[in-house]
Amino acid sequence: MSTQVPEEQDQEQPESVEQEAETAVEEEPASHGDRRRAERDAKRQQSVSGAPAEIEGDTFQLKVFRYDPEVEGKMEPRFDDFAIPREKGMTVLDALIYARDRYDTTLTFRHSCRQAVCGSDALFINGRQRLGCQTQISDLEGPVRVEPLPHQDVVKDLVVDMEHFYDQMHAVEPFFQPEEESDGDLEEYRQTRENREKIKMSTRCIWCGACMSSCNVAAGDNQYLGPAAINKAYRFAMDKREGENMKEHRLNVMDQEHGVWRCQTQFSCTNVCPKDIPLTEHIQELKREAVKQNLKFW
C-alpha cells in the first residue's frame, strides 16, 4: 500500500499541473489586454479630466483647442487638457509632441525644423501669436493654452488654412527682378553694404503668418495685403539692384486702396513678429516713398 500512494499522487499531479498550465495559457492574453486597456484608460482620464487646474509639482496643464469636421462627435470645437511632465528647456512644441505621442495620436498641428526657421508652427499661445518651437514653457503662466491662429479658417485642431496668406504674399511678386543683367553668366549682382543693411531685417521673414493673424485690419478686410506681404514688397522695393523702374512698379502695387494705406499703425504685427522685424516702420516708409513718387513739381 505504501507503494500505491505515491503512484496515485504521481498520476494526479501531472493532471493538476496540466490544468494550471492550461488555465494560465487561457487567461494570460485576456489579462494582458485588460492591463493595456486599463493603462490607456488611465492615461486618457488623466489627460482629459484628471489634469490639475493649475501647474503643480513637476507637471503642468496643457489646454489644446480641438476640432475635426470629418469625425462625428468632434465637429463641435472644444478644449482638451493634458498633464505634461515639466522638463528643463521644454517648448510648447515639445509639449504638443508629448501629448500627441503619449495621449492622443489624432492631435494635429504643423511643425518642421524646430529651429524657428520654417515658420510652420505659428500658434495662438496664451493669447498671443508665437512660434511653438521658440516659446519656452518656463516663460508662460499656467495653464498653457494653445489655439490655432485667429482670423484664419481652421482645417483641423491647430492647423489653419494658409492659402489666402500665400496668395497675398505672391501678389507682391516676392522675387528678385533686376532691370539689367549682370556682365557675365557667373557675375553676381553687387550690393553696397549700406543698401544691404537697410533691407537686412526685412529679409528675415519666415512666412509664419503671425503678423497677419494679429492685424485687425486684415481681419476685417480680406483684400488687404497685410504686413507680411508689404514687408516682402519693401525688401525688393528698397533693393537698389533692381533699378528705379522696378521700384516704381512695386510702389504702384503698394499705393492702392488695399495696400499700405489700409495700415492703421497699431504695431500689433511688430509686437508679435518672431524675428523682430520692424514691420510697421517698413509700411510707413513705403507710404512716404509712394507720396514722394506722386509729387509733381510743376
How far is Cα 111 from Cα 227, in angstroms, rounded to an integer?
A: 23
Are residues 131 and 116 in contact, defined by beta-carbon separation less than 8 angstroms?
yes
Q: For 271-290, what is each residue's pLDDT tens digit?
A: 999 999 999 999 999 999 99
Give me the phi and psi of 29, to 5 degrees please. Answer: -60, -45
Domain 59-155 classified CATH 3.10.20.30? Answer: yes
Q: Where are the domains of the chain?
A: 59-155, 162-294
Identical fold for domains 59-155 and 162-294, yes or no, is: no
How far is Cα 34 from Cα 212, in angstroms, rounded to an integer?
A: 49
* Residue in this structure with the C-alpha cell 470629418, named with its chain if needed: 70
How far is Cα 88 from Cα 136, in angstroms, rounded to an integer?
A: 9
Q: For 80-101, what is each residue's pLDDT tens digit?
A: 999 999 999 999 999 999 999 9
User: Taking phi first (over 0 means left), then psi (-120 to 50 degrees means alpha), and beta for anything else, what does residue 165 get?
Assistant: alpha
pLDDT in tens, the chain (298 residues): 333 334 444 444 444 444 444 444 343 444 444 445 545 554 444 444 434 334 445 899 999 999 999 988 889 999 999 999 999 999 999 999 999 999 999 999 999 999 999 999 999 999 999 999 999 999 999 899 999 999 999 999 999 999 999 999 999 999 999 888 777 777 888 899 999 999 999 999 999 999 999 999 999 999 999 999 999 999 999 999 998 999 999 999 999 999 999 999 999 999 999 999 999 999 999 999 999 888 765 5
State which amino acid sits at residue 93: L
How many CA within 13 A on the CB side of residue 78? 10
State which amino acid sits at residue 283: I
Residues in the chain, how many?
298
How far is Cα 249 from Cα 262, in angstroms, rounded to an integer?
A: 19
What CATH topology corresponds to 162-294?
Answer: Fumarate Reductase Iron-sulfur Protein; Chain B, domain 2 (1.10.1060)
Q: The whole model's pTM is what?
A: 0.76
Are residues 145 and 55 in contact, defined by beta-carbon separation less than 8 angstroms?
no
CB burial of residue 257 (10 Å; 0-12, 13-18, 19+): exposed
